[in-house]
Amino acid sequence: MASDTAAPTSPEGAAAAPAAGPLAGYTVVDLSRALAGPHAGQIFGDLGARVIKVENPAAGDDTRSWGPPFVGPEDDRQATYFLSCNRNKESIALDLKSPDGRETLEALIARADVLVENFRGGVLDRLGFSTQRCLELNPRLVILSITGFGHDGPDAQRAGYDQIAQGEGGLMSLTGSGPDDMQRVGVPIADLLGGIHGVLGVLAALLERERTGRGKVVRTSLLAGMIGIHAFQGTRATVAGETPAPGGNHHPSISPYGLFACRGGAVQISVGNERLWQKLCAAFGLDPAAEGMADNAARVANRAAVTRAVEDAFSAYTADELIAKLAEAGIPSGVVANLQEVYASEQVASQGLKITVDHPVLGAIDLPGPPLRFFDVGADGEVETTLTEHSAPPLLNADADTVRAWLEA
């Protein structure tokens, strides 16, 4: 069961955080900064929890200064980076080295269900908030600790930065056009996966708490996030003894599967079985039994020849024409959209993947939306219960009075 918390309100009495959702009634204290921890906190907020972000009074979360781009008036510029990972939260600024800061954090911990932190190992201990101390204050507390490389082992004290984790976790060795062109993923994927895996662990711990009545510590890292998504590339290394290398825009184990040039552009196709290969060949006049193309293993071994044959067949079509023809033939296909095109998509809008919030400085702004939807199912069918009212990422210390009043109530 969740802690005994009330729905947060603004000084004017209006709701300041989600009042519905699967985690309604739960309280999360978010001590984290940058991206991995804040992304986890944002997910908790999207799921309906009250998320109280504790920030450094001097400048707040590091990402408040990460830019460009910045938006808004010249005297109150807002970092779009911060806006990406802090919706559905309240902000209170606390100096954790001061008596007031420590006392306020103690009170928050005592009322919370979850504490999120991504400090380097030992920092919270030195501030007087070791895991033992936090669980003394609140035995039902679930603590999420996200580090760069794990809380123990020879690299425990290394700072966790996304690109370094992408490199040392092997992801960059798999990404790029070839062995001499290794690339980072275009988003901080190690940070994001650290947050996502952390949320998964916390939800499991909250379920366990229903049986035991006790909280616990959940630990993950950016390195763990990278290893956790190696999938078939990992077993190529551990089982087959291979060392995977970047393969560009083509699948290393399936052919044809990837990005193929056409007239004035390119399209992606996914020919994941022999039935689809037969359909592709029938639609574009290819010989499905040609030498080196009779089955998937042969096509993978002869990928360059398969790619040339497919691109020769596609060269007569523009991307739009080709997408239509592939759809008619039943071949999974798509284009490579830029982000402006993505957020203009009717499908994206229909899934709630773009939301509008009212920011106190910027006014109405569009943000990427949460990736989960929820439904109740009854005799009359499904009724969506997804949280649709979201609050904008907070200004620094904007909710201090509200949070303090709640603690004193």
Pair 329, 267: CB distance under 8 Å:
no
Residue the block writes with tokens 């779009």: 80
- Greatest extent of the chain over all pairs of C-alpha atoms, in Å: 78
Omega of the bond leading into 256 within 30 degrees of 0 (cis): yes
Pair 35, 63: CB distance under 8 Å:
yes
Alpha helices in 155-252 (DSSP H): 162-168, 189-212, 222-227, 231-238
C-alpha–C-alpha distance, residues 69 and 78, integer Å:
9
Active site amino acids = 191
334 burial level (CB within 10 Å; 0-12, 13-18, 19+): middle
Q: For residue 275, give every residue at least 6 positions away whose Cβ sits within 8 Å of its Cβ, in sequence order, or none.
A: none
Q: For residue 296, give every residue at least 6 positions away whose Cβ sits within 8 Å of its Cβ, in sequence order, or none.
A: 254, 255, 274, 277
Residue the block writes with tokens 């979360």: 61
C-alpha–C-alpha distance, residues 135 and 29, integer Å:
14
Residue the block writes with tokens 């007087």: 128
